[in-house]
Amino acid sequence: MDIILVQTVVNGLMVGMIYVLMAIGFTMVFGIMRIVNFAHGEFYMAGAFLFAILYGSNGLPFSISVLLAIGATALLGLLMERIVFRKFRGNELNGMIASVGVALILQNSALLMWGSSARTVPPVVSGVLSVGGIVFPWSRLVVIIGAIVAVVSLNLLIGHTRIGRAMRAVAQDAEIAQVQGIRVDVIFPVAFVLGVSLAGFAGVLMAPVLSVSPFIGLAPTLKAFVIVVIGGLGSVPGAVAGGLLIGLIESFAGTFVSASLSEILQFLVVIAVVLLRPQGLLGRKEREA
Amino acid sequence: MNPPTTKPMSYVGIAVAVGLAVLLPWFAPNQFYVHLATVGCINLMLVLGLAIIARAGQLSMGHGGFALVGGYVSALLSMKGWPPLLTLFIAAVVAAVIAAALGWIILRLRGVYFVLVAFAFSQIAVLLALDMSSITGGANGLVGVPPISIFGYVLRAKPQFYPFALVCALTTLLLTWLLYRSPLGTMMAATAENQRLTESSGIDTHRVQVIAFTVGSGIAGFAGALSTHYLRFISPDSYTFWESVSYLTMLVVGGRDGVLGPVVGVVVLTPLPELLRSTEGLQHIIYGAVLVLCLMFVPNGLASLIQTWRSRQRVATTGAARVAEEVP
């Protein structure tokens, strides 16, 4: 196979993995709490910012910076769930509007606290790995490995633990799960915090690759939306498939045509999916009410 | 969802409000208030468009996208020499046609999916405006958009533009009110209330929602064009996601039912960014907080408080009369 083609595929999968990380958290929060979280990208931004400050500006050790950044994002998520999202779970429209308000508050709090100028974070590892002419920059590889570890551990958590089973039960039918003795009021915050922590982790991973500013949250939110509409809202495998697909589209359009065409192409894919398979590629059909 | 009964008192209230709005340029302390009122008129049109979509049970997070499309269409055509008074309407039609096509496809989906795709559309509109720089001027936007002229009378300055904006806003308000009272308006409200039940009574709710989305987005296109000719400028930043959010905020804070809600929302929230202009971040935080707090504590909007207060007064007066009859 042509080397450029292989490199394009590799690049696409690398970009796609970060999208997968964003979309999984987003789709989890929807699947379990029925909340479309427009503030999802703001948790990504918070993770990136905290990491930039701890690791980039204050020079804390890498591992401690990562843990602190994710911990603080999780705490922020817990706080937001307590104060706002708890009141709107199950109420799709109002919950979504409320999340827009939360996005405004978080984004502009970051603006007030940290200013609007973009920050850069020194790369964690530099250099490239070259395998048979295909180039893997180490800074990117760290991102990919981190994302794969996160996705696999989440999958194990959902598939093989008690709390994971409980979350699946709540996602299927919160009322019946409650009757079965599942503490729904515990599952909701757990799912929400888990979801936004994944976004925070994505932010941490991406901070050394991108420049960090208060406004970086909206683009990944849009990506997460597009991916879950393609994959099926609430479906974790759908988020993985959709994320990788969008990564590939971006990579191919970026290499062979233009970056902006990729956005339009993604939108057309969304429209096509909506026309042909409204529940998304791997989504379940909504049960009739 | 009964339409509130219109008492003579309401007509007096409406007359006073319209009178104040018309006389504003004469008693406003300075031009800035006239500017604010003009922006309020444009906002009112946008929020009414959003309210019509919401009336049929959908929300559009891409409302700014249609305003952007309208703005560019009118700016480009009028810069080619077309009369702006005509291009305003062409802008509305173009936005409406796009909305009809998009709506026909995506309105088969449940609410949340629809919102996501409409949101994605508005992002695409911004990206296209940025990207097609040979036509749209890219990030620099279009400068020197011709002013609107009516029979040779050029609306160049603020005091001249305001009456025109007010006429447009009041016309939109009146048409929206008439729409709500028409059979179509009833179908829209019924669709929002219970789509399945409405469908079972033989109404094509998909069509009703497509019409609402088309009309609402067409109004957004007109308002976007109007604003472009007022500011004489448009750029991809003119209508971003956050503009769509601010219209949604006005609708939620004011109230989603009836035409009073949008008016209240616009009157309350239009001056806010101007008052807080010096603190850019804080202004948006307050916007977000107002939105969240309203959803929590006044989910039906501020207008519902007015209506509750009025009906309570009515109950109080009639109730007192009844008590007086029954209690010896």
In this complex, which of B127, B249, B284 lies closest to A260 when CB atoms are compared?
B127
* B316–chain A nearest CA distance, Å: 33
Mean of the pLDDT values across residues A45-70? 92
Q: Which residue has the higher pLDDT, B173 or B159?
A: B173
Quick: pLDDT tens for A111-121. Answer: 999 888 888 88
Query: Would you call A270 and B292 a contact, using CB atoms and an 8 Å cutoff?
Result: no
Query: Would you call B111 and A109 a contact, using CB atoms and an 8 Å cutoff?
Result: no
Quote the pLDDT of residue A289. 36
Residues of B in contact with A97 (CB under 8 A): 59, 248, 252, 291, 295
Quote the pLDDT of residue B38. 93
Q: Quick check: ipTM above 0.90?
A: no
DSSP class of residue A55 equals: I
Query: Would you call B282 and A112 a contact, using CB atoms and an 8 Å cutoff?
Result: yes
The closest of A279, A200, A166, A143 to A24, measured between CA atoms, is A200
Quick: pLDDT tens for B194-234. Answer: 888 998 888 999 999 999 999 999 999 999 999 999 999 99
Mean of the pLDDT values across residues B252-259? 89
The Cα angle at residue B73 between residues B69 and B78, in degrees rounded to 5: 150
Instruction: Indicate the residue type of B27.
Output: F
Confidence of residue A109 (pLDDT cuts 50, 70, 90): very high
Quote the pLDDT of residue B327. 52
Per-residue pLDDT for A68 more than 70?
yes
Distances (CA, A) of B270 to B43, B245, B276: 8, 13, 11
Quote the pLDDT of residue A19. 92
For the beta carbon of residue B299, count every other beta carbon within 10 angstroms: 15
3-state secondary structure of B100: helix
Q: Which residue has the higher pLDDT, B6 or A40?
A: A40
* A101–chain B nearest CA distance, Å: 4
Q: What chain A residue is nearest to B127 in terms of C-alpha separation?
A: A260
Q: Is the distance from CB of A141 to CB of A127 less than 8 angstroms?
A: no
Quote the pLDDT of residue A287. 47
Cβ-defined contacts of B136-139 (< 8 Å, 24+): B136/B72, B136/B76, B136/B236, B137/B235, B138/B236, B139/B235, B139/B236, B139/B237
Among B50, B124, B294, most A C-beta atoms within 10 A, so best to mutate, is B124
Q: What is the mean pLDDT of chain B?
A: 87
Measured distance CA(B262)–CA(B1) in Å, rounded: 16
Bridge partners (DSSP) of residue A131 are A134
For chain B, percent helix, then strand, then coil, each to nearest 5? 75, 0, 20
Q: Which residues contact B87 (CB under 8 A, 6 or more apart)?
A: B73, B74, B77, B78, B225
3-state secondary structure of A89: coil
Confidence of residue B1 (pLDDT cuts 50, 70, 90): very low
Q: Is the distance from CB of B4 to CB of B128 less than 8 angstroms?
A: no
Per-residue pLDDT for B326 more than 70?
no
Q: What chain B residue is nearest to A36 in terms of C-alpha separation?
A: B112
**pTM (2 d.p.):** 0.87
Quote the pLDDT of residue B318. 67
Quote the pLDDT of residue A288. 39
